[in-house]
Amino acid sequence: MDSDAEDFLQGLEAVGIQPDRLRAILLTHWHNDHSAGAAFLQRKFGVRIYYAADEAPCLTRETATSGIRGWLGKRVPEAGVLVLLRGILEEAAPEAVTADHLVTDGEIVEGSFRVLATPGHTGGHAAYVHAPTQTLFCGDALAVVDNKLRLMAKPVTPDLPAARISALRCLRERVEFICPGHRTPLTENVKQECRRLQEYLEAGGRWPLLG
């Protein structure tokens, strides 16, 4: 996402949804490529923001680094994967965004989204299951590449044991659709894919270097 949410608003326009219909944003984690723009949308459209308490220090910029890293971070353009680099350098979202509600594992928010605590990729990563459509929004707890379920790459998974438990939690949901934080959703053979990766992880399969 861009800090001015321009890419997000273009996406909404592409699917024919007016931005004034936005009600809430359920953030999975603080990384800029998932959260930049949330502050702008909160301010402009009054949307409610949800995220887990452990993501708050980065999203409210309590953790923002000063010094050379902070200086560099502010100068990284928001383009492509550089968006993430900018956040990693600054160790914070580009603009502070306060939560209207801090989510906890198992609770239902906005009427139909169940929260799944899924730490590992970040300390307070959360996924959301939309019960009516049986859709899992897994953020970066899982990845989808070429219609196959994958794990995120090892270098972007600081806590591998936690991430393994979180991936298994997601996979055991047995949903109909999976919307990952990157690339396209998984809409076919979802249950088979979940079973395949679950069995791999349960058998002690290694975490792949490149995800």
**Nearer Cβ to Zn ion (28/42):** 28
**Nearer Cβ to Zn ion (32/42):** 32
> At its nearest, how many Å lie between Zn ion and the CB of residue 156?
7
Which 8-state DSSP code applies to residue 206? P
**Nearer Cβ to Zn ion (31/61):** 31
What gap in Å lies between CA 158 and CA 108, rounded to an integer?
28
First-to-last C-alpha distance (Å) of the chain: 22
**Nearer Cβ to Zn ion (19/84):** 84
**In sequence order, which residues have a C-beta less than 8 Å from that of residue 98 and are 6 or more positions away?**
49, 59, 60
Query: What dihedral angle (degrees, nearest 10) is formed by the CA atoms of 110, 111, 112, 118?
Result: 50
What gap in Å lies between CA 127 and CA 34, rounded to an integer?
13
> At its nearest, how many Å lie between Zn ion and the CB of residue 51?
13
86 scored as a contact of Zn ion (CB under 5 A): no
Of 31, 61, 86, 150, the one binding Zn ion by CB under 5 A: 31
> At its nearest, how many Å lie between Zn ion and the CB of residue 132?
27
> At its nearest, how many Å lie between Zn ion and the CB of residue 85?
12
Region from 31-39, 91-99, 172-180, 200-208 binding Zn ion, contact rule CB under 5 A: 31-39
State residue 111 phi and psi, 5-degree precision: 85, -35
CA distances from 199 to 29, 168, 173 (A): 26, 9, 14
What gap in Å lies between CA 99 and CA 49, rounded to an integer?
5
Binding-site string for Zn ion from residue 120 to residue 149, where x marks contact by CB under 5 A and - marks none: --------------------x---------
**Nearer Cβ to Zn ion (141/194):** 141
**Nearer Cβ to Zn ion (131/160):** 160
Which 8-state DSSP code applies to residue 10? H
Region from 23-31, 51-59, 98-106, 172-180 binding Zn ion, contact rule CB under 5 A: 23-31
Contact 107, 114 (CB under 8 A): yes
Closest-approach residue to Zn ion (CB): 31
The residue ranges that bind Zn ion (CB under 5 A) are: 31, 140
